[in-house]
Amino acid sequence: MRGATLVLLIAVTAAACTAGSGMFTEIALDTAAPSTPAELLLGGGRAFGECGGFCLSELVLRTDGRVILELSRWDGERPRTIRNRGTLSTEALALARALAARLDRISREETYGCPDCTDAGAAWVQTWTKDMPVRSTYDYGRPPRSLAPADRFLAGLIDALDACEATDAVMVEPDCTPRPSY
């Protein structure tokens, strides 16, 4: 019995670790803003392997300017999520479109360095081609030069939706739930 429990625990942990692995995730299919790959413009996020709170932040920007941030943590037997939404300003949407177009024109590596290998976190920038995500992952806070503008833009949106604070770039929806502080 203990062996079966251990196997189940390992399988659930592995699934949790790969949930934000860059495939077309649940966040993109959010019921408040359902999306098809053609409606997805830009995405990104952060993850911290050795963390005691909401360790995964995943952001999706839609072509219509809707923004969805999903914050996730593992609470014992199941993941717990907070999903915050907002709308980009006209200027921020134009910038997001320009950044996505630029990212589609440049050559990108799938992985730069060894993201989160030293428990310093990982970050990523993502675009979509047809139905496939194109994701580049790197050490948190150290994006490659070619990804730095997109990283800065996405980090500002993540921070705003994480704290439920509107900025010049994004209007946060009233039912926003700030990341709990521990």
**Segment 30-40, tens digit of pLDDT:** 545 555 667 88
131-162 exposure pattern, b = at least 16 Cβ within 10 A, e = fewer: eebebbbbbbeebeebbebbbebbbebbebbb
Enter the pTM of the model.
0.80
Give the whole-angstrom CA distance, residue 122 versus residue 37: 24
pLDDT, greater one: 71 or 15: 71
Cα 37 versus chain centre, distance: 15
Domains of the chain listed by start with CATH number: 2-172 (3.30.1560)
pLDDT score, position 165: 97
pLDDT score, position 54: 85
Give the whole-angstrom CA distance, residue 64 versus residue 35: 10
Q: Is the pLDDT of residue 149 over 70?
A: yes
pLDDT score, position 48: 87
**Segment 62-88, tens digit of pLDDT:** 999 999 999 988 766 667 889 999 999
